[in-house]
Structure 1
């Protein structure tokens, strides 16, 4: 190999890769934690270094040029190799000290993880924990987190996964809402109720209809992309929402509606990259979560 030919700035290549994956400079800058001008300069510098245009504008986003498409597979392979190198380096540490990043849904992060982490910290005070509370799936292979708690089974063969439990979720409302708008004694009576959900509730509506709840999009008068906001609106008596039974049991002044219908099953999976099992602190946290939440 002629090492004189290797004069490649990985930061520029990473800027190109993430911009191509995200579809715009603004989205890529957020993903990398950079300012948009800084990211733009890195991409422009790579184009100047290679002597080719990698992107062309398409509406409000960016589209790869033929040269950019040709480079994409090579740079993606570089990204996977760089991630593997980072995992190997971090995995060599066998000390039970250091930072472990855990990503989980907002509900799990607020209601389920804190008591578990309190005991973990008592047992292993040298381990520091960073919680990434997000309902979006974080990319473990790109080290957006070390360990993930997910409600869907992962399909990536490079990840290890352990099914922790199957939880249940039901319909809940504040007592004040039921007193003001109820009674809700039959499934048919819910057709006049106010529901709280997401901006796009097609999947939720299909699930409710399958359970015999005759709701349509018109019933969802309050929406939010954030589960915690939805649950707070339920507690304030603004309508009916879905919540896991264990969280609802911790919440005063809410009641379960239609306890006779089958609850919604929710799986919880603990996920990590295979190579992270060589790190003692990662293994400790992973095994602790299995024991506490399994």
Structure 2
């Protein structure tokens, strides 16, 4: 069914006159009449009774007008929401990040975002594969590497380092590590060598494995590494952003850590004005600032 003809039909039915509908549509009366005849022919029915005082809808015309009235209301509502989206945050936001960061840092903080913007619908896509933002596989990404695509807006959020951690109970049972050579008396817990990971983590684990490591547990994501460490299984290689949320972790060998890993937030250029993107970006930045402040205050105490 021709959408343009439906639009003209709706205007005629609403105005009750070809002339008045033509004025509102900036079309001649003859052009409007031709479109109505074409629609009636395509439907094989009569939509209007014509008389001297104007046009009256037939039964079939009333059915079609009910449908176009509902369509028009939905279109007007959609247009209003599009305009309002520059002022309000609502609707779906597809966020992609790594399993570790999304599970251990981002997800626990999302209640604060929903409290401020209850109409947001966040689709949290946690995977190590880098989704293609320009192709709209996701709306916004948080990644442990600067995005390479040129048509993305990107902002550096923070830096992290991979460090060694163990539980208090494990340290009591197995003893402290005073030098890197002491790894020979402990079980090492790390990401699997074949798992996707930042190069800084891979290099740190590779260096540890050059020493004699008698017992090793590898997991394919940091959530699993963390759970093993919290359950007193050994010394784990974990990102330092976990320190605030898991105070029972004890840092092992304070001078031993990876090189710096940058954390970037990125989104497509065409979403620059999206209110959903803006509130999410600001929320993450505020949480990171507060996170840094709490760690700094704890270290100074």
TM score, norm. by length of structure 1: 0.60
Structure 1 residues 34-73: Cα deviation after superposition (integer angstroms, max 9, x where no partner): xxxxxxxxxxxxxxxxxxxxxxxxxxxxxxxxxxxxxxxx
Which residue matches 1:65? none
Which residue matches 2:286? 291
Over 3 Å counting, the alpha-carbon distance change for 1:197 and 1:217 in structure 2 is farther
CA distance in 1, matches of 2:175, 2:125: 38
Which residue matches 1:24? none
Structure 2: which 5+ runs fail to align?
Answer: 1-80, 290-301
Over 3 Å counting, the alpha-carbon distance change for 1:103 and 1:91 in structure 2 is farther
Give 1:158 deviation, angstroms. Answer: 1.5
Which residue matches 1:181? 174
Which residue matches 1:276? 271
- State the number of aligned residues: 203
CA distance in 2, matches of 1:131, 1:214: 34
- For the aligned residues, what is the CA RMSD? 2.9
CA distance in 1, matches of 2:273, 2:131: 21
Matched, 1:147 2:140: yes
Structure 1 residues 66-109: Cα deviation after superposition (integer angstroms, max 9, x where no partner): xxxxxxxxxxxxxxxxxxxxxxxx98753522111111222322
SS in 2 for 1:96: coil
Structure 1 residues 224-283: Cα deviation after superposition (integer angstroms, max 9, x where no partner): 212111111111122221222331332254311011335542321001111111322223
Give 1:209 deviation, angstroms. Answer: 6.2
SS in 2 for 1:260: strand
CA distance in 1, matches of 2:218, 2:148: 30
Is contact 1:197-1:220 (8 Å) kept? Answer: no
Which residue matches 1:168? 161
Is contact 1:191-1:215 (8 Å) kept? Answer: no
Once the two structures are superposed, the pairs formed by residues 106-125 of structure 1 within 5 Å of their partners are 106-114=99-107, 116-125=109-118
Matched, 1:206 2:199: no
SS in 2 for 1:292: helix
CA distance in 1, matches of 2:194, 2:252: 19
SS in 2 for 1:166: strand
Structure 1 residues 212-232: Cα deviation after superposition (integer angstroms, max 9, x where no partner): x56459556211212111111
CA distance in 1, matches of 2:236, 2:156: 26
Structure 1: which 5+ runs fail to align?
Answer: 1-89
Is contact 1:171-1:242 (8 Å) kept? Answer: yes
Which residue matches 1:246? 241
